[in-house]
Chain A
Amino acid sequence: EPEVTQTPSHQVTQMGQEVILRCVPISNHLYFYWYRQILGQKVEFLVSFYNNEISEKSEIFDDQFSVERPDGSNFTLKIRSTKLEDSAMYFCASSALLRSSYNSPLHFGNGTRLTVT
């Protein structure tokens, strides 16, 4: 069964550094997402991406965050200057083979654990 893959599984970085989290969504899916989960807390929506642009973003997704689909397969999340409170598990997800079914089930990767020291 096709799956979403994320790399690395664990990233440790110093405060103020830039990080890029990488994801390969399911081939032929049209919608891509980033979520995060701070340890022991809710899974929080960050951003959705369709047709090479952001379709929706949350308050968490401020100017320090950006997303990109640099080629036909990768989907990346960049944090420009990391803060301690960015430490969390970041999940990538993809969905929908059809434009009209944008709210179909999300398929998640196993996540990247980001630790900011």
Chain B
Amino acid sequence: GEDVEQSLFLSVREGDSSVINCTYTDSSSTYLYWYKQEPGAGLQLLTYIFSNMDMKQDQRLTVLLNKKDKHLSLRIADTQTGDSAIYFCAYTGGFKTIFGAGTRLFVKA
């Protein structure tokens, strides 16, 4: 079936790197995404990767995709307190996007 698994919590110190991991079940997805949700706000698209890519870098963000293992990760370099939020992994399947439960990132000053 369709499923996305993520760890629920991650705590890092300001300035360290954060790595948020995700596994998914669908093998036909074309795009995989990372969304960020701050308290009381909507879902903000952070970055996405095509399924034929292994890596994408966008400033402090690095996305790694292991298609064989169906594993997606998001690395945030030099994590700041403003990065504290919930991060959702997602992929498209047909006309819908399937989301994980989200990883809550705590950044300690």
A-side residues, CB < 8 A to B, are 4, 31, 33, 35, 41-45, 48, 50, 55-56, 58, 91, 93, 102-111
Scoring B30, B94, B96 by chain A CB atoms within 10 A of each residue's CB, the highest score goes to: B96
Q: Which residues of B contact A41 (CB under 8 A)?
A: 101
CA distance A33 to B90 in the complex (A): 15
CA distance A91 to B101 in the complex (A): 15
Q: How far is the CB of A41 from chain B (nearest CB, A)?
A: 7
B-side residues, CB < 8 A to A, are 29-31, 33, 35, 41-45, 48, 88, 90, 92, 94-102
**Contacts A43-B90, A56-B95, A108-B35 known; 12 new A-B pairs at CB < 8 A:** A42-B100, A42-B102, A45-B98, A48-B96, A50-B95, A103-B30, A104-B31, A105-B33, A105-B45, A106-B97, A108-B43, A111-B41
CA distance A109 to B43 in the complex (A): 7
Q: How far is the CB of A108 from chain B (nearest CB, A)?
A: 4
CA distance A35 to B43 in the complex (A): 11
CA distance A48 to B92 in the complex (A): 12
Q: Which residues of B contact A93 (CB under 8 A)?
A: 43
